[in-house]
Amino acid sequence: MNLLEMSETAKKELLDAELKRKAEYVAKGLKLDMSRGKPSKEQLDLSDGLFMTLDPANGYVGKQDYRNYGITDGIPEIKSLFASLAGVDEDEIIVAYNASLNLMYDSVQRAMQFGVSGCKPWNEQGKIKWICPVPGYDRHFAVTELFGIEMINVDMLPDGPDMDKVEELIKDPAVKGMWNVPKYSNPTGVVYSDEVVERLAKMRPAAPDFRLMWDNAYMVHALYGQEKQANIMELAKKYGNEDMIYGFGSTSKITYAGAGVAFMYSSKKNIAELKKLMNIQSIGPDKMSQLAHFRFLKSVDGIYALMEKHAAILRPKFESVVDILEEELGGSGIAKWTRPTGGYFISVDLYPGTAKRTVELAREMGVVFTGAGATYPYKKDPADSNLRIAPSLPPIDELVEATHIFAVAAKIAYLEKA
């Protein structure tokens, strides 16, 4: 039933019914957390034995004894593996850190301090601006906000960011970069179409030091089998544009969250320059963690096989959430949601002006959702509409309960207002 078209009486009756359901949930005294995209224990257990590969009996010697100093950019074995995964050459990749956020932050900080492409440091270029497809990833926005970079919202469409808008914005030389999660975007689950990837790859921004931040966090995180996507670096090379690309990825949601191996890829020229700076910042990455990951994952096929096991755990969770949303809110007119084929989130657009109140009501029923606005720069969702559901962590029974609660909250929030 469409709530938007309901009579006042029907609305009143429904509100009473939903408030009764709410009171029942409150009485249960639940404490559920749906706020972050964390893997579940069952998923983490899939990597049992990761560090057992470092049994002294196996030795630690590859190009050198990996227990000792040396190597700025990652052990050759893991560089080769991730280069294959990202579809780049081995001199176009650096493997470092335990998660990719650090590589992204450092890339922005280096550009602020030292500049890129021979241009002046961004610190010395006055107001810097940045393109942010919305809704997007809160930690991306926190980085650009910290550096005082002005963030400009661009709508995420079903096939990627609104490219007409993007192509207009890059005419401003103060626009220096753009955040992207090109596959199973956080939180919409959008997979950029090959056409969008190509339009991005061939852009000619007015700023010669523009950087396309390509956070491939979910590149292999498919729910229904691996899906192909045009390779940004290949296309950028076709247009002589590969210096513009900063690609990122990690095993945070392949092996252990925050105890994985991260990588960054770009043009040979950029990687060579980055290595010079990283060699002053760091004596090199944790090669033991890299060796363990290489021995455990073995190959791109090894990664795909592991991701299929993750998918088997995640699929029923995603499907439960979507089923309940359909059951509770289908045809209601007050909510639209995504049916992602990968990634870690389900994004829901609620009736404008009700997202904050929905989170508040859900909290009263004992369920924590990511705060309204978190998916927007400056935590400001202009429509107060988007919320993000993270189905991975809770067991299915909790997830089912939490999603019902979400729906009750969304309905009450609308009916209170209407």
Count of CB atoms situated within 10 Å of the CB of 308? 14
Q: Environment class of residue 271 by beta-carbon count within 10 Å: exposed (0-12), middle (13-18) or buried (19+)?
A: buried
Regarding 136 and contact with its own copies (CB under 8 A), the answer is: no
Sheet of 346-350, strands arranged across:
335-337, 346-350, 386-389
Among residues 230 and 288, whose Cβ is nearest to its own copies? 288
CB neighbours of 241 closer than 8 A, spacing ≥ 6? 201, 202, 203, 204
Candidates 42-50, 126-134, 230-238, 308-316; binding stretch for its own copies (CB under 8 A): 42-50
- Map tokens 């009473």 to a residue: 16
Regarding 65 and contact with its own copies (CB under 8 A), the answer is: yes
Binding mask 146-185 for its own copies (x = CB under 8 A): xx--------------------------------------
Residue of the chain from 190, 274, 292, 409 that contacts its own copies (CB under 8 A): 292
Regarding 289 and contact with its own copies (CB under 8 A), the answer is: yes
Q: Which of residues 304-343 bind its own copies (CB under 8 A)?
A: none
The tokens describing 359, both together, are: 């989170």
CB of 208 to its own copies, least distance (A): 22
Among residues 252 and 375, whose Cβ is nearest to its own copies? 252
The tokens describing 313, both together, are: 């755990």
- Map tokens 């450092």 to a residue: 106
Provide the angle, in degrees to the nearest 10, between the axes of the packed helices 355-364 and 8-28: 40
Regarding 44 and contact with its own copies (CB under 8 A), the answer is: yes
Written as one string, the DSSP assignment of 98-110 is SSTHHHHHHHHHH
Residue of the chain from 15, 230, 259, 418 that contacts its own copies (CB under 8 A): 259
Amino acid at residue number 102: N
CB of 390 to its own copies, least distance (A): 11
- From CA 24, how far away is CA 83, in angstroms rounded? 53
CB of 263 to its own copies, least distance (A): 15
**Would you say 247 and 266 are in contact if contact means Cβ atoms under 8 Å apart?**
yes
Regarding 206 and contact with its own copies (CB under 8 A), the answer is: no
CB of 61 to its own copies, least distance (A): 9
**Would you say 85 and 95 are in contact if contact means Cβ atoms under 8 Å apart?**
no
CA of 328: how far to CAs of 12, 333, 400, in Å? 17, 11, 12
Regarding 396 and contact with its own copies (CB under 8 A), the answer is: no
CB of 296 to its own copies, least distance (A): 12
Regarding 256 and contact with its own copies (CB under 8 A), the answer is: yes
Binding mask 20-39 for its own copies (x = CB under 8 A): ----------------x-xx
Amino acid at residue number 375: T
- From CA 245, how far away is CA 106, in angstroms rounded? 15
Regarding 356 and contact with its own copies (CB under 8 A), the answer is: no
Residue of the chain from 208, 225, 258, 302 that contacts its own copies (CB under 8 A): 258
Regarding 78 and contact with its own copies (CB under 8 A), the answer is: no
Among residues 56 and 240, whose Cβ is nearest to its own copies? 56
Residue of the chain from 142, 157, 300, 396 that contacts its own copies (CB under 8 A): 142
For residue 225, give the DSSP letter.
S
Regarding 51 and contact with its own copies (CB under 8 A), the answer is: yes
Among residues 54 and 245, whose Cβ is nearest to its own copies? 54
- From CA 400, how far away is CA 391, in angstroms rounded? 10
Q: Are strands 150-157 and 129-134 parallel, antiparallel or unpaired?
A: parallel
Regarding 47 and contact with its own copies (CB under 8 A), the answer is: yes
- Map tokens 């990951």 to a residue: 293
Q: Which residues bind its own copies (CB under 8 A)?
A: 36, 38-39, 41, 44-45, 47-52, 54-56, 60, 65-70, 98-99, 101-102, 105-106, 109, 112-113, 123, 139, 142-143, 146-147, 252, 256-259, 277, 280-289, 292
